[in-house]
Amino acid sequence: MNKMRTFPQIQSLIEDSSLKDYPFYLRAHFCKKIVARCKKDFANEDIDKNELLKQIKQGIEEFYRKDLQSVINASGVIIHTNLGRSVIDEQIYEACKDKICSYSNLEFDLEKGVRGERYGVVLEKLKMLFECEDALVVNNNAAAVFLVLNSLAFGSEVIASRGELVEIGGSFRIPEVMRAAGVKLVEVGTSNKTNLKDYEEAISENTSLLLKTHKSNFALIGFQSEVSIKELQGLAGQKKLINYYDLGSGWCENLNANLAKNEPQIKKLVKECDILSFSADKLFGSVQAGIILGKKELIARLKKNQLLRMLRVDKLTLAFLEESLKAYLLKEYEKIVTLKLLNESVETLEQRALRVQKSIQMKSELKYSKALVGGGSMPDKSLKSVVLAFEGNALFNQAKFRAKNIIGRIENESFVLDFRSIQENELERLIKMIRELEK
């Protein structure tokens, strides 16, 4: 007997009443997929229809879990790259709605009725906010680094400190980016110490640029020294070289004093180098983009590079970025969610944790802990935070909460929710989700 015949007809599976709540395209896709797989794996055995239906349902449910969906970040890592880095404020979102749900003057000069400059909507605001000569926006900071090196140093030597040849994550490695951008890396100094003299001695007639990279995601402690951007600027000026700072993150305004200490403020640094770049969705707290600031003559060279067309940002990005810039210029810092979370007082976090603790039945203990800035920012600094630590097996709790899109962390063998990275307007949803878990 041909065992294949014992498989239920695909059509009968697709029409089975137990799948009726799923849309047709998913029923059809997963019925065919699961039946094909079973025919391959169990070609010589009978297979039960209910077993097949169970697997089809499982396939569809797993597919739904992959949808982009909102999660509550209770990990305590504020700029969490896996969870989307910076959150957009609802008022900013509302302000963008009309601009992206209709045609816009993206590249059109409303005054003159002719073609306008694509980046016009953000350029003047960037220049005002950062007090710089000129600016440019690309897809992300990785693209910015690539564009700067390729436009300003192609075919020549770029000097960088061995202590700053970093890997950012997602396999973005400075030496490899340099190679891909067509520049020759000249390493100077050692892993822990680089002096100005090291740069000076490495300069040759083929050198065009001195690169400084912010040690975003690690810290050197102990016997170490690096050359400041200001010192490099002096040397670059003397030797007629370009001085570029890949800032990675960098902050703009209104960061609490404890975090701001020893961390680069963009406005100050832009005066100490020829050109710099940073991510718009790290400490700056906006959408994914790479912002480049610097001398007019250098930005003009970037604009001439054909690559810019490939790295250019969409109108959605420009709309959101424009609103974030306005918020900074108007000093409406409450619209920058990343800053708001970083600056929240411990007392406020305590009140929020208590509010959640009182509204649920699961047993938890309020504890003081430390949260992280994240996103490759400030690796050596932590923030005071408040957590609820739940009774019971940590791994089991972690999976249970994750099933409700609540992402916490494990600390001292307990599953904890860290309130440093939870927004106030998420508390009701958090409580509702935990109550559903308790059922």
Ligand X SMILES: *Cc1c(COP(=O)(O)O)cnc(C)c1O
Binding site for ligand X (CB under 6 A): 140-142, 145, 168, 172, 213-214, 216, 246, 248-249, 279, 290, 376
Q: How far is the CB of 10 from ligand X (least distance, A)?
A: 45
In eight-state DSSP terms, residue 427 is H
State the Cα–Cα distance between residues 142 and 122, nearest whole angstrom.
20
Cβ closer to ligand X: 310 or 395?
310
For strands 207-213 and 157-161, give the pairing.
parallel
Structure tokens at 372: 């992280």
Structure tokens at 172: 């973005």
Q: How far is the CB of 114 from ligand X (least distance, A)?
A: 33
Residue nearest ligand X by beta-carbon distance: 248
φ, ψ for residue 157 (rounded to 5)? Answer: -95, 140
Cβ closer to ligand X: 64 or 218?
218
Cβ closer to ligand X: 140 or 369?
140
State the Cα–Cα distance between residues 274 and 43, nearest whole angstrom.
68
Cβ closer to ligand X: 102 or 171?
171
Q: How far is the CB of 60 from ligand X (least distance, A)?
A: 34
Q: How far is the CB of 192 from ligand X (least distance, A)?
A: 18
Residues across the chain: 439
Q: How far is the CB of 225 from ligand X (least distance, A)?
A: 19
Cβ closer to ligand X: 145 or 319?
145
Q: How many CB atoms lie within 10 A of CB 122?
A: 25
User: Per-residue DSSP letters for 14-30?
Assistant: HT-GGGTTS-HHHHHHH
Which residue type does 105 have? N
Cβ closer to ligand X: 140 or 324?
140
CA-to-CA dists, residue 376 to 34, 149, 249, 281, 317, angstroms? 42, 21, 7, 11, 22
State the Cα–Cα distance between residues 267 and 247, nearest whole angstrom.
12
Cβ closer to ligand X: 210 or 434?
210
Instruction: Provide the β-strand partners of residue 409.
Output: 416
Q: How far is the CB of 278 from ligand X (least distance, A)?
A: 8
Q: How far is the CB of 293 from ligand X (least distance, A)?
A: 15
Name, in order, each residue with C-beta under 8 angstroms of 19's C-beta and a sequence gap of 6 or more: 13, 27, 53, 56, 57, 60
Q: How far is the CB of 338 from ligand X (least distance, A)?
A: 14
Q: How many CB atoms lie within 10 A of CB 7?
A: 17
Cβ closer to ligand X: 260 or 403?
260
